Amino acid sequence: MNQVLVSAPSNIALIKYMGKIEGTGNKPTNGSLSYTLENLKTFVRLTEIAGSEDQWKPLVRDDLEKIELSEKGQQRFLKHLQNLKQKWGINQSFLVESANNFPSDCGLASSASSFAALTLAAAEMFQKLHPQPWGADKKVLSELSRQGSGSSCRSLFSPWALWQAEYAEPMSIPQTHLHHIVVVVEDSKKEVSSSEAHKLVTTSPRFTGRPERAELRLKDLVQALCWNDWHMARQIVWDEFMDMHRLFETSVPAFSYMTSGSKKVLEDCQGFWSKWQDGPLVTMDAGANVHMLFRNDQKKSFETYREHFKKDFKVLAFEGVKDNVH
Ligand code: PMV
């Protein structure tokens, strides 16, 4: 039986992909930079089956969370497999089984990790069946993954990924093994999907100049991180997610993911920063949850934040492993 089991991590963008060039298979209107979340993973098992139709089923394993994919979600996932099969010239049919190692009821997007995992699983399987000279090239795989879900193209590289046009690439940044907190403010399904958000933001008057603002921040953030200027990095990352959320709020029609809970968490983060003049990089995706990334030497403050937010919210906290490599 031809079978492969592969996993891929999620990622959090610090400079956001928001807005795509129409008809290009998810090419972005600006470059983005992300940190790979090794603790949040999707597992995909691909099995060759008889018959002419691909199928999707949840992957059932004691250590993994069972996913429920909507009919539309299943079709989008299988369409990506279809595209990959076409690229490799594969005619066989497959059963795709997938699951996450993080709870599906916490409002954490899994499209990046799931599309990256499907791309990697297909590449492994198809290279056995019909090897292609480019079949193990990470840049090609990143480009293919992008066509399924934009942000997934960054999940192929760790710990930092830079995505500028067709594919993502690894980026060398001194800070690694960051500690990660997600304050789960809202765990229900989003009303506006990120695909819809990408379209709607172009109607905002603030979209004029948005690609330029994001590109400038990207350049400044890389420089700040490379110079170990954490204060500057934190300010850029904050301005960036606020810029994205203002686009949502000024779109026609306007929409918002910010809840009173998100605002409370952000206020507390500001308060802690003012008090200690230090703290995590804070960011939000197209959702209400708040992500925080702490440097390896900020372990104490990681614990303080975790305990503080645990009083009012569900908190997911992941320790980065101490980095001994200098
Ligand atoms: O890949 P998509 O279409 O789900 O878009 C993701 C968009 C954001 O998560 C909001 C930002 C990003 O760069 O990941």
Q: Is 285 in the pocket of ligand 1 (CB under 6 A)?
A: yes
Burial of 48 (0-12, 13-18, 19+ CB in 10 A): middle
Q: What is the pTM of this model?
A: 0.96
**How would you classify the pairing of strands 290-294 and 281-283?**
antiparallel
Which of 3.40.640.10, 3.30.420.40, 3.30.230.10, 3.40.50.11260 would CATH assign to domain 3-170? 3.30.230.10
Q: Do residues 151 and 225 touch, judged by C-beta distance below 8 A? A: no
Domain ranges in the chain? 3-170, 179-318
How far apart CA 148 and CA 94 sit, in angstroms, is 17
To test the pocket of ligand 1, the residue of 17, 152, 163 to mutate (highest count of ligand atoms within 8 Å of its CB) is: 17
Asked if the model's pLDDT at residue 325 lies above 70, the reply is no
Question: For 171, which DSSP code?
Answer: -
CB of residue 151 inside a 6 A radius of ligand 1: yes
Does residue 149 have its Cβ closer than 6 Å to ligand 1? Answer: yes
Ligand 1 centroid to 324 CA: how many Å?
Answer: 32
Q: What is the pLDDT of residue 251?
A: 98
How does residue 104 score in pLDDT terms, banded at 50, 70 and 90? confident
For residues 92 and 130, the answer to whether their CB atoms sit within 8 Å is no
- pLDDT, tens digit (0-9, with 9 covering 90-100), for 189-202: 678 999 999 999 99
pLDDT tens per residue, range 3-41: 999 999 999 999 999 999 989 999 999 999 999 999 999
Sign of CA dihedral 36, 39, 40, 46: positive
> Could you tell me which residues come within 8 angstroms of residue 135 by beta carbon, excluding any fewer than 6 positions away?
88, 123, 126, 127
Q: Is the CB of 13 under 6 A from ligand 1?
A: yes
Which pLDDT score is estimated for 321? 74
The rounded Å distance from CA 18 to ligand 1 centre is: 7
> Best mutation site among 12, 18, 32 for ligand 1, i.e. most ligand atoms within 8 A of its Cβ?
18
Question: Given this model, what pLDDT does residue 103 score?
Answer: 81
Residue 11 Cα to ligand 1 midpoint, Å, equals 10
Q: Which tens digit of pLDDT belongs to each residue from 266-320?
A: 999 999 999 999 999 999 999 999 999 999 999 999 999 999 999 999 999 999 9
Task: Look up tokens 């440097």; give the residue.
Answer: 295
CATH of range 179-318; options 3.30.70.890, 3.40.50.10150, 3.40.50.1010, 3.40.50.970? 3.30.70.890
53-92 pLDDT, tens per residue?
Answer: 999 999 999 999 888 899 999 999 999 999 999 999 999 9
Ligand 1 in contact with 247 (CB < 6 A)? Answer: no
Tokens of 31: 């470059």
Residue with the smallest CA separation from ligand 1 atom 9 is 285
